Amino acid sequence: MEKEAVETVERKQHYILFYLAGEIFAINVKYVLRVLEATTFTKIPKGPSFLKGVVNFNGSVLPVVDTYLKLGMPAKKDFRKSLILVLNITAEEKNVNLGILVDDSDDVFEVKDSDIKPYPATGSKYKVEYVDGVIERKGNFILILNPQKLFATEAGTEIGNNILLDKENQTEQDDQTE
């Protein structure tokens, strides 16, 4: 009796590379709708500190997140040469578009799932909850961010109507106005 050869096909995914403060990150392209040049932002009163503001995106209001602040990096002052990655994520069972500010983005590449290594849980600069893994590419280690997890951790953040409000901040501000 002959043994049947089982052919396994290794799954591959595509990622977009981006840079923040000299560090290299990637996001699965399934979340990325478009890459835009950064423009002027309209500030949102009572918005969370990481919300840079909103911009017009195809006739809709697009909240734009200061990725530096969101990831706990020192604030960047000048975003004129930055890019906005327009993402589509699911939050609180709704599809939501939001932009994240990045310094640059210059490549889309394919990665085998077996090449993605676990992100170390200890001694890490970033929270393990929103990092899907690490890959090595061209001698650099690249963190793969999961935007769904990154924004799901914001307790009470409302993004279903394309406006981000920090409920904790909102409550404090409401208490001050009463």
pLDDT (tens digit per residue) in 67-123: 998 888 888 888 888 999 999 998 777 888 999 999 999 899 999 999 999 987 766
Q: Is residue 1 part of a domain?
A: no
Q: Is residue 107 part of a domain?
A: yes
Q: Taking the C-alpha atoms of 25, 28, 31 and 35 in order, what is their torsion angle to the nearest 10 degrees?
A: 50
Model pLDDT for residues 7-47, shown as the tens digit of each residue: 667 899 999 999 999 999 999 999 999 999 998 889 888 88
What's the structural domain count of the chain? 1
Q: Is residue 48 part of a domain?
A: yes
Q: Are 71 and 62 in contact (CB under 8 A)?
A: no
Segments forming the whole domain that contains residue 57: 12-177
Q: Are 133 and 98 in contact (CB under 8 A)?
A: no
Q: Is residue 2 part of a domain?
A: no
Q: Is residue 22 part of a domain?
A: yes
CATH, residue 82: 2.40.50.180
